[in-house]
Amino acid sequence: MNELRYASDLDLYLFGEGRHQMGWEFLGAHFGEFQGESAVHFGVWAPAARSVSVIGDFNGWDYRYGYMSPQGSSGVWEYVSKQCRPGDVYKFSIETASGDRIEKADPYALWTEAPPKTGSRVIDTLEFQWTDHDWMQNRPGWIGDSPVSIYEVHLGSFMHGRNEQSYLYAVDELVRYVKELGFTHVELMPINEHPFGGSWGYQGTSYFSPSARWGTPPEFANLVNAFHNEGIGVILDWVPGHFATDAHGLFRFDGSALYEHLDEIQGIHPDWGSAIFNFERKEVRSFLLSSAHFWISRYHIDALRVDAVASMIYLDYSRSNWIPNTYGGRENLGAISLLQEVNTMVPLLSKGAATFAEESTAFPKVTQSVDIGGLGFGFKWNMGWMHDTLEYFSFDPIYRKYHHDLITFGLLYAFSENFVLPLSHDEVVHQKGSLYAKMFGDEWQRFAHLRSLYAWMWAYPGKKLLFMGSESGQQYEWRDEVRPDLGSSELGQKLKRLVSDLNLLYRDTPQLYLGDHRPDGFSWAIVDDRDSNTFAFSRKVPHFDAVLLCVANFSLADRYDYEVPVERVGTWTEVLNTDSEYYGGSGKGNFGSVKTSVAAPSVIYGGKLVLPVTLPALSVVYLLSPSTEE
């Protein structure tokens, strides 16, 4: 049993300086031994309070029996209870400067009651039974210049109707499903405790506790452990930009604007009605640094995907009224420096740990080093690619020649950041329709479009992300209270088969992932045939002799002997054809291979080496070159 202690002078100093990365070790509730007896130590930051008491199951919820002691001028209050035990529910009763009493959940709670209840709970220990040592030691092979294909999941929806203990049952069902699909990573939408399920976790009240609506902390740790033991990394959505304003949470925590700005222009988000963290306040920075550290170090999370970065780094984000920074600019300097600190810290905590930015603007150097003025993220979501590509696929192919640049424009900036190509939950909610609904045509054509979209995406430079249900062409818009369609139709099952094969081919083909963020691994072969809605590009990397050619026909017409210029003579192997009957297509193709020929003099590629490829309508074909030794 751990020996309990009060906060040290060093703890209080680092916390007050905004540099404490492990604040949960002296704040919150901790069970252990104190003066030879079992006890629980409580700590809370409430500098504007007249007094603070711990109330809970162990003292009849009477504030008179749990008065806490202030620690100098730090604003930290502490108390040790020899009556409290693991499992007990508690809160802090805070006497505000005006003399009112308010009851608050613990900001550093490691366990909570399941909503709609709002109490914090004492946990015995965070020493979980990990068996993922090999994964943790070898993790650098999964992040960086390596295959990264991500399956994005809302756990409550995926497990809807299965069991309330979703962490426990997801060990079998979700882990098995993600492994069958062949994804390298799973991304969990926020699982930190949040009062309103409809916020999907993006408006939280706890930054250290996995939601009790799906199970216990040990069960969540076991889920992460199970993913790792199957060779699947876990990315966790983390929301340091804003938080819920529910009365029991962080908002006006000690009667003052403690975690947020007092001024509503800076302190309340106009779109979501949530409270914005005061990134300049040092104790708030310690809180957020500690939260990031906590998930990486205590729950073995492989990466944090930081939500809504643009709303953090711009003071005028979605505002007509805003307050400039000290230099008169629109950048939120406190938020920027905090993100730089987090992104510097995370890779140092555990081998291969990383951060992802969901950032929707052209803010420079998002994934470049802090040393040269960058934000320091490992990856950035490529929102421009996503919007342009989905818009192109929504058009009738007859008119696509007028929107040809929607496909080609992205390569002008594709290597400016370390990009992830996201087809995420954001694109299939709030009356935007499912990916299936966004595609042009009848049912067969929509599925053909999805097949070609996914094959195009998996060959395109950048890591991959697909939201649950999209792998099977779910036809209805996602709703968090409904389980996703995981393949109820024959075409949906065949589309899912394609996604699985794409992941397998992707992991086994270095040309598709090495050099993702360098322009020398990509070259256009066909870029200007707008009348045919046809594109072709090659992926190649040093040390791997073969070239992977991706050819796309986004028109409704089959094309035979379509000449694609190449530089390698011989027989090219057709390694993927989305029009295969196996995937729900019409079964047209190249019978497994294509031989090079020389273009006729009258053709635009006259005298050049070409591949005369059969391109079925609405299809993408992958061809692998012979080696130079053949």
CA distance 470 to 263: 42
- Neighbouring C-alpha atoms within 13 Å toward the C-beta of 346: 31
User: Quick count: other Cβ atoms within 10 Å of Cβ 247?
Assistant: 13
Do residues 201 and 190 make contact, with C-beta atoms less than 8 angstroms apart? yes
Q: State the angle between helix axes of 282-298 and 333-349 in degrees (0 to 180), rounded to the nearest 10.
A: 30
Between 9-16 and 282-298, two packed helices, what is the crossing angle to 10 degrees?
Answer: 110
Active site residue 33: no
Q: Which of 187, 254, 302, 307 is catalytic?
A: 307
Give the H or E element holding residue 408. Answer: helix 405-408
* DSSP-assigned states of every residue in 340-399: HHHHHHHHHHSTT-EEEE---S--TTTTS-GGGT----SEEE-HHHHHHHHHHHHS-GGG
- Angle 447-382-623 (CA atoms, 0-180°, nearest 5)? 50
CA-to-CA dists, residue 333 to 34, 109, 316, 336, angstroms: 43, 29, 13, 5
Tokens of 343: 């992104």
How do strand 101-104 and strand 89-95 relate by DSSP bridges? antiparallel
Among 139, 197, 136, which residue's Cα sits nearest to residue 166? 197
Are the C-beta atoms of 65 and 95 separated by less than 8 Å?
no
Catalytic-labelled residue, pool 11, 95, 187, 358: 358
Cα→Cα distances 406→41, 73, 358, 362, Å: 58, 58, 21, 17
Whether 358 sits among the annotated catalytic residues: the reply is: yes
Q: CA–CA separation, 568 vs 608, rounded Å?
A: 11
What phi, psi does 425 have (nearest 5°)? -60, -30
Nearest Cα to Cα of residue 303 among 337, 241, 347: 347
The residue among 318, 236, 249 whose CA lies nearest residue 287 is 249
Contact of 265 with 297, CB cutoff 8 Å: no
User: What tokens appear for 95 in the block?
Assistant: 């006497």
Q: How far apart are CA 57 and CA 77, in angstroms?
A: 20
- Active centre residues (catalytic): 307, 358
